[in-house]
Amino acid sequence: MKRLFVAAILVAAALEPLNAQTSARANDITNLEAQRVEPFKVFDNLYFVGVKYVSAWIVKTDAGLILIDTLYEPFGDLLIENIKALGFDPKDIKYVIGTHAHYDHTGNALTLQDKYGARVAMSEEDWQFLPKSKPPHPRRDLVLKNGDTLTLGNVTMRFSVMPSHTPGVVAIEFPVFERGQPYKALVQPPIEKDGKPESLASIARLEKMEGIQVSVWVHPIMDRQFWERVDKLKKRQPGEPNPFIAPEAFQTRIDFLKKPAP
Ligand SMILES: [Zn+2]
């Protein structure tokens, strides 16, 4: 557990600066009650089923579900509980996409393979990196290469491999829908501000992505306004815009990554 905690601090340090409140939350990363979040719908096909420290997202398609990241123990049961609370059947999860091979993102992937028959996808680089990460490790079902697409029903995802935080973090572009209208969403890859050539190259490639209207974060703390947006979403009146449609959040991320580390 100590190793996970250290890794968590490293991840947090690599992301946005934290205010005191988020920091207190992030430090308590194995406390079930402190971490529990009521699962919620963000778009017609996108649902948050994660905890305060780390995200897990359900993408609903007309041919089944895709789960992006899996949480870790002790949150395996909570993940399933959250998925069921939204009215979904975990057996409908066709694919689990691991954004990267760190325990907090893929720690429950093996259970999802064994109990629910989901197929796990990660980049080749991170399948190779996985043994260095805390077990249990999922079995290699699908390998994602830079530029690959994956289609399930009415949703096609496009993957870009962005080495930095791990050798094969994937950024995921896919459409989210609200009242039938599509918006361009991106699962934002964690990128280190370490000045290394691979990190700088990943930032440059991220910056070239155009028209990103919705940022989907693998850790809520990557967007300082995340919980504010959630509150606004819950209080939203008919006709008010979805607070997660925020092209400026993508630009804020680029600006943060390009600003020299203090
Ligand atoms: Zn990580």
CA–centroid distance, residue 147 to ligand 1 (Å): 21
243-to-43, 91, 254, 255 alpha-carbon distances in Å? 11, 31, 19, 20
Q: How far is the CA of 100 from the centre of ligand 1 (A)?
A: 7
Ligand 1 centre distance from Cα of residue 8 (Å)? 8
User: What pLDDT is recorded for position 25?
Assistant: 52
DSSP 62: B
Q: Give me the average pLDDT of each 10-residue run along the chain (262 residues).
A: 43 41 61 93 98 97 98 96 98 98 97 98 98 97 98 98 98 96 97 96 97 97 95 94 97 94 75
Question: For 189-215, how does the pLDDT look when each residue is reduced to its tens digit (9 = 90+)?
Answer: 999 999 999 999 999 999 999 999 999
Domains of the chain: 2-258 (3.60.15.10)
Q: How far is the CA of 98 from the centre of ligand 1 (A)?
A: 11
Q: What is the pLDDT of residues 49-94, one digit of tens each?
A: 999 999 999 999 999 999 999 999 999 999 999 999 999 999 999 9
Q: Whole-prediction pTM value?
A: 0.90
pLDDT of residue 28: 84
Residue 176 three-state SS: strand
Peptide bond into 197 cis (omega under 30): no
